[in-house]
Amino acid sequence: MIHLFCGYDERESIGFAVFAHSVIARASRPVALIPLSSMGMGEGSNTFTKSRFLVPYLMGFKGRAIFVDASDMLMFCDVAELESQFSADFAVQVVQHKDYSTRNPMKYVGTGMESENKDYPRKNWASVMLFNCAHPVWQDMTPATISGMSMADLLSLDFCGEDVGMLHPKWNRLVDEGQPTSGNVLHWTAGIPAFDRYRDTPAADVWEAERKAMETTA
């Protein structure tokens, strides 16, 4: 069983549904899609900004698991292929987006989620994570610990030291930040095409096609 923890924000629930369809339609192995909201961790621009770091705790600090932002993403491959990238050499593996600043100073414009889109070190690294839940880095990451940490410290993964492994960029394409609009995981960082402001965002037609496929097969 693949454990896929998925960021869930009710204000973006259509995005979650379309993402879930994109995973299930292509999966070759059983996959548990586990919605993850705030869980009392407080909120950033999304409800799950902090709670994503509870994944090892929720797994009992055992095994492996995947976290994805989900609600503003699509998966265009078998999720088992992503799970196969796991390496026990690291605490976590991510796409290491380097030397980029956002093109979108505001995000979710025109919605109840509208907020400033600040740059910070290692921005968007934590939006797709392969967790080695048994790694020593995670053993003290309990709800109390995470609640006391700043958003910036968590999202930058500085507490992992040198134990951050690298995934190929195709596993987290920031399509509205000028990255290629093809890949295994497409990520609309500023707003999904379901929102009026973003109906013409890059690869909006791809998202709409997946939404149509979901509605057709429902």
27-85: pLDDT as tens digits: 999 999 999 998 877 667 788 999 999 999 999 999 999 999 999 999 999 999 999 99
> Do residues 128 and 168 make contact, with C-beta atoms less than 8 angstroms apart?
no
> Do residues 135 and 90 make contact, with C-beta atoms less than 8 angstroms apart?
yes
The single residue listed with the structure tokens 């192995």 is 29
Reply yes or no on whether the pLDDT at 218 is more than 60.
no
The single residue listed with the structure tokens 């609009």 is 181
Candidates 187, 174, 175, 171; CA nearest to 92 is 171
CATH number for the domain that contains residue 177: 3.90.550.10
Domain extent, residue 57, equals 2-217
pLDDT tens for 148-160 read 999 889 999 999 9
Average of pLDDT values for 15-28? 98
> Do residues 85 and 167 make contact, with C-beta atoms less than 8 angstroms apart?
yes
Q: Does pTM surpass 0.85?
A: yes
Candidates 43, 57, 59, 56; CA nearest to 8 is 43
Average of pLDDT values for 6-20? 95
Q: How far apart are CA 145 and CA 55, in angstroms?
A: 13
In the chain, the percentage of residues whose pLDDT exceeds 70 is: 98
Please name the helix (run of DSSP H) or strand (run of DSSP E) that holds residue 144, with its range, or none.
Answer: helix 143-147
Q: In total, how many domains does the chain have? A: 1
Give me the pLDDT at residue 99, please: 81
